[in-house]
Amino acid sequence: MIALESLILEYTERTPKSAELYGKACRALPGGVSANIKFFEPYPIFMDRGEGAWLTDVDGNRYVDYLLSYGPLALGHGHPAVKEAIREQFNRHGSLLYGTPHALETEYAEKIKQHFPSIELLRYTNSGTEATLLSLRMAYACTGKYKIGKFEGHYHGGYNQVLISVNPPLAQAGEAGRPSPVPESAGLEPHQFDNTVVLPFDDLEACSDILREHKDDMAAVIMEPLLAGYIVPTAEFMRGLRKVTEELGILLVFDEVKTGFRAGLGGAQGYFGIRPDLTALGKVIGAGMPMGIVGGKKELLLKSAPIRGSDVFDMSAGKRSAAKDVLFHSGTYNGDPLILRAGLASMEILEKEFEPMTTRTESLKQGLKAIFAAKGIPVNLPGLGTVFNIAITDKQTIGSYRDMQGADLTLRKKIDFALFREGIYNKPTNRYSLSTAHDETVIDFTLEAYKKALARF
Ligand SMILES: Cc1ncc(COP(=O)(O)O)c(C=O)c1O
């Protein structure tokens, strides 16, 4: 079997300009990257251009893009409707930003509410991170409790409460049914470990026991309803969790930043038929631009309504006294007209093209399964809608982070490096996301590329 070292040598021979740019980047950016997730060894590929399903790197290598910037680009790169929406906002409306309310804020909100019936009211943020952060503050404000439950292996953005047990080494992660909290960053405040309780995914009994112990202090359980955007829990687990959180007075927050408009047009909550109390959205809704949403039950969202003279920035006499009664939520770029216009244009296309896109995702999965089977490599391809991952394992069911860790990640990484030469791009071992631009020709190209790559193993 071909060694990883040979594949990395081949990679460096094909990407000399990326190596050069990476060397320069390291002199300006820590680790040469603007987000830690963008790094992989020996150095990441520097991209130069995107078009439809394709990326071209600075050395002129072309790849089908299955990273899609970690999911937002549901229409692929540079869709004409998105380009036109951006042009129109500038040309017809004259500005990028008003700093006042504008009609698109309501128009887009109504579109989101149509797809997510659990969302009665919503607020815009500038990222998924901000959306989950606001959802937690909303939960604290509405319950008067300050602990949260979060699941092992779930990611909710880069801040203290949730940077715990996202990708923990199994040796430190404790028992499966009662996971130990593992920090995911330097600089976390030690008291955070008292306020974030780590829960086991897809294990209702163990999870319910932990929730009962903390019910008096726990404001919310936050979760990715599909772990990492592609691991589908049982419907019994999801229904049971909704029931037990309701019974214990703990709010249920679905972080659908990955699954919104990907697991289905109505997200994972539409698939399971479950109404969470709050939902965080991001990625696809901004059509490739920074945006997030927190939505949910009216009585919870109204906590952020600036009534009762509570604007924190209003310095007139007497006004500030009520600020503590209202949930603070503000942001220079919230409800950015350019992003809303592009997001809305992209949503209208997605509504028409989502079903065929899921069908093509399924046919890609079936094709891959057959190619791996012919090679005698056991695989499981967990996923839903337009996202899946490739786990090299003979396990029939993948229900948790630990199941995924049990897969052969070393072989997967080698295959991903071999695929670069064949014109397939993903960050090694990452999940696959598709776009409307991943048409049948692209799927056929991908399957041929896989055949060539696997022939070397
Ligand atoms: C489930 C989930 N929540 C929150 C976030 C954070 O979103 P953003 O990167 O837009 O801040 C992400 C990002 O990958 C995510 O996948």
Q: State whether the beta carbon of 254 lies less than 6 angstroms from ligand 1.
A: no
Measured over the CA atoms of residue 147, residue 152, residue 154 and residue 159, the dihedral's sign is positive
Among 87-91, 268-272, 311-315, name the most confident range: 268-272
Pocket test for ligand 1, best of 36, 73, 129 (most atoms within 8 A of CB): 129
Task: Tell me what pLDDT residue 326 has.
Answer: 87
- CA nearest ligand 1 atom 16, residue: 258
Residues in Cβ contact with 211 at an 8 Å cutoff, skipping those fewer than 6 apart: 149, 199, 218, 221, 244, 245, 248, 250
Distance between Cα 129 and ligand 1 center (Å): 6
C-alpha 104/C-alpha 341 separation (Å) is 7
Closest atom, ligand 1, to C-alpha of 292: 10
Mean per-residue pLDDT, 428-449: 98
Query: In the predicted model, is pLDDT for residue 320 greater than 70?
Result: no
Instruction: With H, G, I as helix, E, B as strand and everything else as coil, classify residue 433.
Output: strand
H/E stretch holding 46 reads none
Task: Tell me what pLDDT residue 128 has.
Answer: 98
Task: Tell me what pLDDT residue 390 has.
Answer: 97
Cα-flanking dihedrals φ and ψ of residue 388, to 5°? Answer: -155, 170
Q: How far apart, in Å, are the Cα atoms of 448 and each of 350, 367, 445?
A: 27, 10, 5
Distance between Cα 281 and ligand 1 center (Å): 9
Mean per-residue pLDDT, 242-252: 98
Pocket test for ligand 1, best of 253, 254, 258 (most atoms within 8 A of CB): 258
Q: 307 falls in which pLDDT band (50, 70, 90)?
A: confident
Distance between Cα 321 and ligand 1 center (Å): 34
Query: pLDDT by residue (tens digit) across 402-416?
Result: 999 999 999 999 999
Task: Tell me what pLDDT residue 361 has.
Answer: 98
Minimum mean pLDDT among 166-175, 216-225, 307-316, 329-338: which range?
A: 307-316
Which active-site residues does the annotation give? 155, 255, 283
Mean per-residue pLDDT, 300-321: 70
Give the start-to-end residue ranges of the domains of the chain.
4-78+354-454, 98-335
Mean pLDDT of all residues belonging to the chain? 95
Q: State whether the beta carbon of 54 lies less than 6 angstroms from ligand 1.
A: no
Q: State whether the beta carbon of 125 lies less than 6 angstroms from ligand 1.
A: no
- CA nearest ligand 1 atom 3, residue: 156
Mean per-residue pLDDT, 183-209: 94
Query: In the predicted model, is pLDDT for residue 317 greater than 60?
Result: no
Closest atom, ligand 1, to C-alpha of 70: 14
Task: Tell me what pLDDT residue 159 has.
Answer: 94
Query: In the predicted model, is pLDDT for residue 210 greater than 90?
Result: yes
DSSP β-ladder status, 218-223 and 251-255: parallel
Q: How far apart, in Å, are the Cα atoms of 323 and each of 305, 318, 330?
A: 11, 10, 13
Closest atom, ligand 1, to C-alpha of 130: 11
Residue 9 is encoded by which pair of tokens? 């040598």
DSSP 407: S
Task: Tell me what pLDDT residue 306 has.
Answer: 83
Pocket test for ligand 1, best of 156, 278, 285 (most atoms within 8 A of CB): 156
Task: Tell me what pLDDT residue 309 has.
Answer: 57
Mean per-residue pLDDT, 168-178: 96
In order, the DSSP letters of 47-90 are EEEEEBTEEEETTS-EEEESSGGGTT-TT-BT-HHHHHHHHHHH
- Which residue in 1, 2, 23 sits closest to 12, CA to CA? 23
Query: pLDDT by residue (tens digit) across 125-139?
Result: 999 999 999 999 999
Task: Tell me what pLDDT residue 311 has.
Answer: 63
Q: State whether the beta carbon of 372 lies less than 6 angstroms from ligand 1.
A: no
Q: State whether the beta carbon of 154 lies less than 6 angstroms from ligand 1.
A: no
Distance between Cα 229 and ligand 1 center (Å): 10
Distance between Cα 377 and ligand 1 center (Å): 32
3.10.20.30, 3.40.462.10, 3.50.30.10, 3.40.640.10: CATH of 98-335? 3.40.640.10
Mean per-residue pLDDT, 132-156: 97
Q: 318 falls in which pLDDT band (50, 70, 90)?
A: low
Identify the CATH class of 4-78+354-454. alpha beta
The stretches of 157-303 forming alpha helices (DSSP H) are 192-195, 204-214, 235-248, 267-272, 298-301
Closest atom, ligand 1, to C-alpha of 157: 6
Mean per-residue pLDDT, 268-287: 98
Distance between Cα 22 and ligand 1 center (Å): 25
Mean per-residue pLDDT, 430-435: 98
Closest atom, ligand 1, to C-alpha of 282: 10
State pTM to two decimals.
0.96
Spatial strand order of the sheet with 47-51 comes to 47-51, 54-57, 62-65, 424-425
Distance between Cα 258 and ligand 1 center (Å): 7
Q: 248 falls in which pLDDT band (50, 70, 90)?
A: very high
- Which residue in 414, 413, 412, 422 sits closest to 62, CA to CA? 422
- CA nearest ligand 1 atom 8, residue: 128
Closest atom, ligand 1, to C-alpha of 129: 11
Q: Give yes or no for a contact between 133 and 148, defined as CB atoms under 8 angstroms apart.
A: no
C-alpha 132/C-alpha 123 separation (Å) is 12
Q: State whether the beta carbon of 256 lies less than 6 angstroms from ligand 1.
A: no
Closest atom, ligand 1, to C-alpha of 283: 10
Q: State whether the beta carbon of 255 lies less than 6 angstroms from ligand 1.
A: yes
Tell whether omega for the bond before 168 is within 30 degrees of 0, i.e. cis.
Answer: no
C-alpha 250/C-alpha 179 separation (Å) is 20
Task: Tell me what pLDDT residue 193 has.
Answer: 84
Q: State whether the beta carbon of 128 lies less than 6 angstroms from ligand 1.
A: yes
Q: State whether the beta carbon of 152 lies less than 6 angstroms from ligand 1.
A: no
C-alpha 109/C-alpha 111 separation (Å) is 5
Q: State whether the beta carbon of 258 lies less than 6 angstroms from ligand 1.
A: yes
C-alpha 229/C-alpha 257 separation (Å) is 9
